[in-house]
Amino acid sequence: MNVLVLGGYGNFGTRICKALAGHPQIHLLIAGRNASKAQALADTVGHHTQCVALDHEAPDLAQQLRALDIGLVIHTAGPFQAQAYGVAQAAAQAGCHYIDLADGRRFVCDFPAAMHSAFSSAGRTAVTGASTVPALSSAVVDALCSGWSSIHTIDTCIAPAQRAPRGEATLAAVLSYCGVPIPVWENGQWQTRLGWADPTPVSFQRLRPRRGAVCDIPDLELFPAHYKVTQSVCFRAALEVGLAQSAFSVLARLRQWGWLQQPEKLAALMHRGGGLFDALGTPLGGMVVRVSGIDAQAQPRRRAWHIAADHDHGPEIPCMAAILLARQLAEGQQMPSGAWTSTGLLPLNAFAPEFAKWGMQTDVVEENASH
């Protein structure tokens, strides 16, 4: 299968290309606006990898994909918060499967309704949000709550390592909802919380405690309905350096007060300046998913799944779901045609070889259900 990675030389695209290059059923094409960067990566990964100069916003994208005989498009060229579904529409028109790493709430949540008909008609599969959320996060919830009669709360927190490589597009996506009112399912009803405004303590199994602030991601909208959560669904991000976390809180308040209209315009400046905090951080990051509810024996349960990623390997995690799904498609595994979010598409044990490859450690902890 000819697999084309859009944004293939970017922060996440590079990792996906390196993971897929050399797969016996994949001929890899690295695509982006900068042909020299694409060629440099193609030379590095080898395996007859091809580079293609391609603009994901080009009006003739479908024709270009068809001319290249692409079987699967992996879209990593974010940020997705400000994008429409042009790449997915081009993929459907060209008869390609499609996977993206989108984390934009509206982009992911509205994707199935917008694109299902086009991909069903083409007999192809499209998956949005094939990343840490909701692909891995839902896999964790499925594993932790297997057999439970009800789920009361789901609380997820991502804790990136300060020194891990950062992408400017990812930072722009994060800043886009800094200080914006976010609908959150809390105490059995929809309420609003300001993005990044009020960090609260979070504990981890193998990381020092941090403060995490609410972020606007698809899980906040998908999980209450998918898992019939009775009380609350929360998602937070916890930066390693407290000063950096506080800086985001200040930006959130400035936006709330009308003194800062578009924080995402600071992405390039903050991306360059972020290294100033690196001396205060470590190469250790991770994630925790906590759930509570009633198990199959009608007993209250509270469990947590932790992952720790050392040596700055944390950015590999957002790439894993796309890599796993791409391999499945290339190997001819049947997947339903149409457009889907990644919620529940992959079991947690499918990620285990990827965790092991990067030396990541996971823990499942039974916690006091009364807390």
Helix, strand, coil tally for the chain in percent (to 5): 40, 25, 35
Bridge partners of 300?
294
Structural domain spans, the chain:
2-131+315-346, 134-314+352-366
Bridge partners of 97?
72
| Model pLDDT, residue 271 | 62
Measured distance CA(189)–CA(150) in Å, rounded: 17
| Model pLDDT, residue 272 | 65
Q: What is the pTM of this model?
A: 0.93
Dump pLDDT digits (tens) for 249-295. Answer: 888 888 888 888 887 777 777 766 666 667 678 899 999 999 999 99
CATH architecture of 134-314+352-366: 2-Layer Sandwich (3.30)
Dump pLDDT digits (tens) for 206-222. Answer: 999 999 999 999 999 99
Measured distance CA(107)–CA(110) in Å, rounded: 6
Which of 156, 212, 206 lies closest to 310, judged by CA?
206
Q: Which CATH code of 3.40.640.10, 3.40.50.720, 3.40.50.300, 1.20.1260.10 fits the domain covering 2-131+315-346?
A: 3.40.50.720
According to the per-residue pLDDT averaged within each range, which of 81-85, 123-127, 169-173 is highest? 123-127
Residue with structure tokens 């439970």? 148
Dump pLDDT digits (tens) for 158-194. Answer: 999 887 766 677 777 778 888 889 999 999 999 999 9
- What is the C-alpha end-to-end distance of the chain, expressed in Å? 50
